[in-house]
Amino acid sequence: MTTFPKTDKTSITRLPKRGSYDQALVYSILDEALVCTIAFVQDGEPYQIPTGFCRIDNYLYIHGSVGSGYMRVLAEQQAKVCISVMHLDGLVLARSAFHHSVNYRSVVLFSHAEKVTESNELYQSLEVFTNKVQPGRWEDIRKPSDKEWKATMVLKFKIEEVSAKIRTGAPKDDDEDYNLPVWAGVVPLNTERKEPIPDPAMRIAIPLPNYLNHARS
């Protein structure tokens, strides 16, 4: 098992049994998430922004407009960031208020911004991002023009100082509370892709692509 090194920042002090530094687990949590939040410091104060992302090997990639203020700040300062991702998998309904919880899988990553300038890497990052959002989509669509590339900034963040945290399974109550006449259990949560809605502006009748058929209810 490949694991990430534990550092002062990524040591899990609260409920350490929920923590993990396993590379495969960290990657799986990142790859399933469509958005992350990126926190950074500006003039000594905290900022954060939710954004889409993808992972290629040991880097996390985001893209945005060259006109985006925060992208420019991150790029120019090679700013330190803290990035988090969370999947909420279930509501854990215990017999006591105190032991209510949620089942989740989260990743917290410390890194710094690096601007991507090499054209193959730019192209690959957008392809991987697009096919992550919707597998099969990249092959089907008009690729970016030179003008669009000039308007796009891509940043990457090395995945090295990182930890995952997960909770799974049933509630854990205090021994004496198991005799209470209270229903206990888990309400699983799931993100559902629903029936695709065609753009009313489509000029010609185009059937739903095969790669979207799985999304039909």
Q: What is the footprint of its own copies within residues 40-99 (CB under 8 A)?
A: 40-41, 44-50, 52, 65, 67-69, 80-84, 86, 88, 91, 93-98
Which two tokens mark 24? Answer: 């495969």
Name which of residues 12 to 31 contact its own copies (CB under 8 A): 13-14
- In one-letter notation, the amino acid at residue 107 is V
Name which of residues 154 to 173 contact its own copies (CB under 8 A): 170-171
Closest to its own copies by CB, 120 or 190? 190
Closest to its own copies by CB, 24 or 215? 215
Cβ contacts of 7 within 8 Å, gap of 6 or more:
110, 161
Contact indicator for 29, 105 with CB cutoff of 8 Å: yes
Closest to its own copies by CB, 21 or 64? 64
Contact indicator for 69, 114 with CB cutoff of 8 Å: no
178 lies in the binding site for its own copies (CB under 8 A): yes
Closest to its own copies by CB, 22 or 89? 89
Interface segment toward its own copies; rule CB under 8 A; list 21-29, 101-109, 114-122, 153-161: 101-109
Question: Comparing C-alpha atoms, which of 125, 126, 50, 130 is closest to residue 86?
Answer: 50
CB of 121 to its own copies, least distance (A): 16
Question: Comparing C-alpha atoms, which of 66, 42, 69 is closest to residue 116?
Answer: 66
CB of 115 to its own copies, least distance (A): 18
Q: CA torsion sign, 57 to 59 to 61 to 66?
A: negative
# residues near its own copies by CB under 8 A: 92
204 lies in the binding site for its own copies (CB under 8 A): yes
Which two tokens mark 186? Answer: 């888990």
119 lies in the binding site for its own copies (CB under 8 A): no
**In the stretch 182-201, what mask flags binding to its own copies with x, by CB under 8 A?**
xxxxxxxxxxxxxxxxxxxx
Task: Give the H/E segment covering residue 40.
Answer: strand 35-42
Question: Comparing C-alpha atoms, which of 4, 189, 160, 10 is closest to residue 86?
Answer: 189
Which two tokens mark 110? Answer: 């410390």
Interface segment toward its own copies; rule CB under 8 A; list 18-26, 53-61, 154-162, 174-182: 174-182
